[in-house]
Amino acid sequence: MRIVIAGGHGQIARRLERLLSAGGHEVAGIIRKREQGDDLREAGAEPVLMDLESASVEEVAAVLHGADVAVFAAGAGPGSGVERKDTVDRGAAVLFADAAERVGVRRFIVVSTMGADARHEGDDVFDAYLRAKGAADDYVRGKSGIDWTILRPGTLTNDAGKGLVRLEAATGRGSVPRDDVAAVLAEMTETPATAGLTLELVSGSIPVTVAVKDVAGN
């Protein structure tokens, strides 16, 4: 398969790129800075230079043309303010979904976050982040032209992945290594029956492949 990842230089994205390329897939990652390209090549992915905050839907559609799966893993990141939470975490996700639908890329996976809610209250930057992610999730779920899955991990850690998770519509609060988030995403790219699901993810006791198969089609 050809898989295009928005936010290709992110910590989860680079882990995912390694897994997908090792599995024989063709992977492209969208990046904002040319100097990030070598990191993607090292991970086995083709770097695509594009700023999703300023790109048009036609430009993004051209990158997605011929892809089998689109994965939105972009984020404004730590240190960004309220404005960029909206332009990246919401706006870029909306753009990526519109572009995927335009060129017929049906399989669409979103890396969201636990607690995402467009109606979340509060004035802190993190509150704005949860609202932006929630609004993006709502928009994607409203599109009939894509087969979406929304993954909402708990608190992310850099601990070594154990390959054991809890993946459910509601897991309760918890943490999860980025390694295991990437492993779940990789499994989801090959499990189209997870379409139409919004799932929370934390560490648990079920092997990743089993956890994804257990929720598929539910």
- In a 13 Å sphere around the CA of 81, the CA atoms on its Cβ side amount to 1
CA distance 39 to 29: 10
Q: Do residues 146 and 105 touch, judged by C-beta distance below 8 A?
A: yes
Let me know if 129 is a catalytic residue. yes
Of 111, 129, 189, 208, which residue is the catalytic one? Answer: 129
- Work out whether the CA dihedral 91, 92, 96, 102 comes out positive or negative: positive
Q: Which residues of 147-177 are buried (b: 16+ CB within 10 A; e: fewer)?
A: bbbbbbbbebeeeebbeebbbbeebeebebb
Q: State the catalytic residues.
A: 129
